[in-house]
Amino acid sequence: MASSASDKPRIGITTYLEPTIWGVWQRDAALLPRVYLDAVANAGGVPLLLPPVGTDPTVLDILDGLIIAGGCDVDPASYDAAPHPETTDTRPGRDTHETILIRAALERELPLLAICRGLQMLNVALGGTLNQHLPDVVAHDLHRPSPAVFGRTDVKVEPGSLTARLLGDRSSVHCYHHQALDLVAPSLKVTARAEDGTVEAAEVDGHEFALGVQWHPEENPEDLRLFTALIDASRRHQS
């Protein structure tokens, strides 16, 4: 059963499965940038890692909230598209893992925060599609300016949305992506866009807290509003 209302909320975070080097070892490992862990802990939660191995949706029964983390490109086969030449780094096993967890979380009304790739997976899991290489659409690369360098994007937020209640009508955010939502799933409501029209946030209709953002809030430790809101929703879910 999930933790009691007096406990810190347990927040599951999906992880990468990648070839990794540490010490004298070079092996596949489940990993996640520490900034996600710090964001959850500093917002008042306990982070628990969910590797894309041995997927079982009943693991959500011991969680109070779920984060679908960023990472590599979503496999275009998952939304019946041929791969773009720039879609070269996919992990179909992780796609399947996260699709199962997303659908199970929504069925349980488990608070859900989907980040960057996570928003893309949320859209695909609900029947949407992606633009595989955003520069083809917006004619610039400001969303991913160079390898391992985050860009900054100003987003305009839809009034009256959960996103607006948390962030106000505008926000400047860290971004690093070359894919984005194309056909938006029927059950998703777009709640923020960049100036070039790119979908930057979306919410699942009919759910108290099921929010995806295209940016990387974990990269701004001075602004934990999204993580604090997830923790607050997770505390309500405990009871």
Structural domain includes residue 141: yes
Percentage, residues of the chain above pLDDT 90: 95
Q: What's the average model confidence in pLDDT over 144-150?
A: 95
CA 40-18-137 angle, 5° bins: 80
Structural domain includes residue 2: no
How far is the C-alpha of 219 from the C-alpha of 239, rounded, in Å? Answer: 31
The type of residue at 201 is A
How far is the C-alpha of 86 from the C-alpha of 91, rounded, in Å? Answer: 15
- pLDDT given at position 6: 55
Helices (H), ranges, the chain: 34-42, 92-108, 117-125, 135-138, 162-167, 225-238
| Domain total of the chain | 1
Percentage, residues of the chain above pLDDT 70: 97
Structural domain includes residue 4: no
How far is the C-alpha of 137 from the C-alpha of 195, rounded, in Å? Answer: 13
- pLDDT given at position 212: 98
pLDDT(3) > 90:
no
pLDDT(195) > 50:
yes
- Domain range spanning residue 32? 10-238
Give the distance, in angstroms, between the CA of residue 60 and the centroid of all CA atoms in the same chain.
16
pTM of model > 0.85? yes
Residue positions counted in the chain: 239
Structural domain includes residue 103: yes
pLDDT(140) > 60:
yes
Nearest to 134 by CA among 221, 64, 192, 199: 199
Structure tokens at 57: 């949706």
Q: What's the average model confidence in pLDDT over 74-97?
A: 96
Structure tokens at 54: 């041995």
Catalytic residue set = 116, 216, 218
Tens-place pLDDT, residues 33-62: 999 999 999 999 999 999 999 999 999 999
Q: What's the average model confidence in pLDDT over 208-224?
A: 97
Per the prediction, the chain carries an average pLDDT of: 96
pLDDT(2) > 70:
no
How far is the C-alpha of 213 from the C-alpha of 215, rounded, in Å? Answer: 5
Q: Measure CA of the first residue to CA of the last residue in the chain; give whole Å.
A: 11
How far is the C-alpha of 92 from the C-alpha of 21, rounded, in Å? Answer: 22
- pLDDT given at position 187: 97
Q: What's the average model confidence in pLDDT over 223-229?
A: 98
Structure tokens at 72: 């590599």
Q: What's the average model confidence in pLDDT over 90-108?
A: 98
Structural domain includes residue 27: yes
Structure tokens at 51: 């590797």
Q: Buried b vs exposed e over 90-108: b needs ≥16 C-beta within 10 Å?
A: bbeebbebbbbbbebbbeb
CA distances from 130 to 60, 70, 178, 206 (A): 27, 15, 10, 23
Structure tokens at 44: 């008042």
pLDDT(110) > 80:
yes
Structural domain includes residue 5: no
CATH of the domain at 92: 3.40.50.880
How far is the C-alpha of 7 from the C-alpha of 15, rounded, in Å? Answer: 24
How far is the C-alpha of 62 from the C-alpha of 224, rounded, in Å? Answer: 24
